[in-house]
Amino acid sequence: MYDILSGLKIVEVSSFVASPTAGLYCAQFGAEVVRIDHKAGGLDYDRYMVTREGRSLSWENLNRAKKSVALDLQSEEGRELAAELVRQTGQLITNLPVNSFLSHEKLAEGRPDLVSVRIMGWGDGRQAMDFTVNAASGYPLMCGPEEWDPATAPPVNQILPAWDFITGAYCAFSLLAGLRHRDQTGQGIEMRVPLGDVAIGTMANAGAMAEMLYRGADRERIGNAIWGAFGRDFLSRDGKRFMVAALTPKQWKATVEAFGLSEEVAALEAELGVSFLASDHQRFVNRHRLFDLFQQAADQFDYADLAARLTKAGATFERYRTMYEAAQDPDLVTNNPLFGPSPANPSGFAYPAPRSFANLPSQQAGDPKPAPYLGEHSEEVLADRLGLSSGEIARLIDRGVVATSDKDQK
């Protein structure tokens, strides 16, 4: 946690992954992010996996360091309260539809300098989720074993909702760009970020779109190899699987040295009339011959010995872990300053909590903050942002328009 965005207030009305991620990143830099949900919880409030106590671990982690306001968003009065909170705040992140009760056009009638970021499915208004835009991108049909028949092989989905997280990060950036625009012009702005465009645009930025059009065909599947360079998973003598990557001459030289393959690689270069040190293209097109050499060498070492050799040589590698192993790994988690002490999580379950991914050498990062209980800050925010008296808030609570903390309700 840092405070470089302190003073910035944001309203977030969102669900699932991309939109909450945008608010989370802002909150980790010190912004005051108020998440507004329906009083029974949004669509993601009970998102899998849920603890025995009924708390979603996904929701808990995507909403750290935020405040929570719970309103009856199915009522006109609750919706107007939400809209007024946005107007009084001036900054909105949401994934509600363009023409919802929180449309930029309606909100800007009372706040012309409003900056809003709206996450959409596709640019034409169609719904989408990470897994459906990923299907459209072509990436799943590029994954899988090299020997699969291209005509009949199934797609291989990415288990991480990567497009959601990329979109969330891009939306946090978009919000700050919108604020800079307002600072310079005094004008508000609406920014719509379609999840599908993030996926297809990223494919284009990576050069993959140009590549497919240039070659006039799809790229072949190459299993766990790295496209266009030397890299793949290997198996040590004691059964440990690890990944090696050599994208630069320095990395290649270190990898060959660690595996003890200088003579064998030199002999293969002489046979083929190429230099692997000088050309990642040659390392890639001749990867099968090289993979055989490196796997034969790996068969001679236990992983601990080979890891020591790779480290000493300055090679780039890492052992495959299960996610359960990773969650307990000393280097990745236990001794990593990214993680701070477990805050008072609503689930009651204590586990490592990450700070901001960015390290600011000039500042000391604060400890991670917990996610709120649903409606925990309803009274505080309504009083602070809208100037409602305790009596007015009490009447809203009695009528079921406003809900307070669900700490004891799960």
Residue from 37, 72, 130, 164 carrying the catalytic annotation = 164
DSSP of 143-212:
-S-TTS-TTTPPP---SS-HHHHHHHHHHHHHHHHHHHHHHHHS--EEEEEEHHHHHHHHHHHTTHHHHH
Cα separation of 246 and 86, whole Å? 50
Distances (CA, A) of 102 to 56, 117, 196, 259: 26, 11, 22, 60
* 105 phi and psi angles, rounded to 5 deg: -60, -45
Q: Return the closest-CA partner of residue 79 out of 112, 59, 102.
A: 102
Q: Retrieve residue 182's tokens.
A: 């307002």
Q: How far is CA 354 from the centre of its chain?
A: 13
Q: Is 164 a catalytic residue?
A: yes
DSSP 15: -
Residues 6+ positions from 4 with CB-CB distance below 8 Å: 29, 30, 360, 363
Cα separation of 406 and 410, whole Å? 7
* First-residue to last-residue Cα distance in the chain: 28
Cα separation of 265 and 256, whole Å? 8
Q: Is there a contact between 169 and 22 (Cβ–Cβ < 8 Å)? A: yes
- Strand, helix or coil for residue 403: strand
Give the chain's radius of gyration (CA, Å). 26
Orientation angle between helical segments 130-137 and 162-185, nearest 10 degrees: 100
Catalytic residues: 164
